[in-house]
Amino acid sequence: MVATRETKNQVQGGKSEVPDMNCKPYATADLYKKLYPDSELSGDNLDRYLWQASRHIDSLTYNRIVGRGFDRLTEFQREIIRQVVCQQADFEYENADEISTAISSYSINGVSAQFGSSWNVFTSYGIAMRRDTYALLCQTGLCCRLAR
């Protein structure tokens, strides 16, 4: 299912602008456009999705990036986080309808679909992410619950 333009413009709370907060996205719009040159995501909507993806990354890393400071991470960790933010922003944009729905699965005339924890989608703390993207994020060492 492809997300509609209306749904894509309503990223959490119906607002497309980035909230006025000190927390900035970990990836820039320029980097996103370089990685996804054919994407329809642009402008304020792009900034909002990058901001939202960055906050989701904060949740999945137990706010260790916020606690340490992005600039105090290693260059390897920063590069991985930038890539993951762009991948997550694109995933959330492309799957906005499925992510925002309360239904996790359905079946019609013998055809079924499921969204959530499946072989290629990881879900934690209400955040859906491709498993390969989460595996990339784990390479930073910031996702382990036991680490400080």
Distances (CA, A) of 136 to 9, 18, 81, 114, 130: 28, 26, 9, 24, 10
pLDDT at 5 over 50: no
pLDDT at 19 over 60: no
Q: Determine the pLDDT at residue 4.
A: 46
Average pLDDT over residues 15-41: 82
pLDDT at 1 over 50: no
C-beta separation of 25 from 53 below 8 A: yes
Tens-digit pLDDT profile for residues 68-123: 999 999 999 999 999 999 999 999 999 998 887 766 666 787 777 666 556 788 88
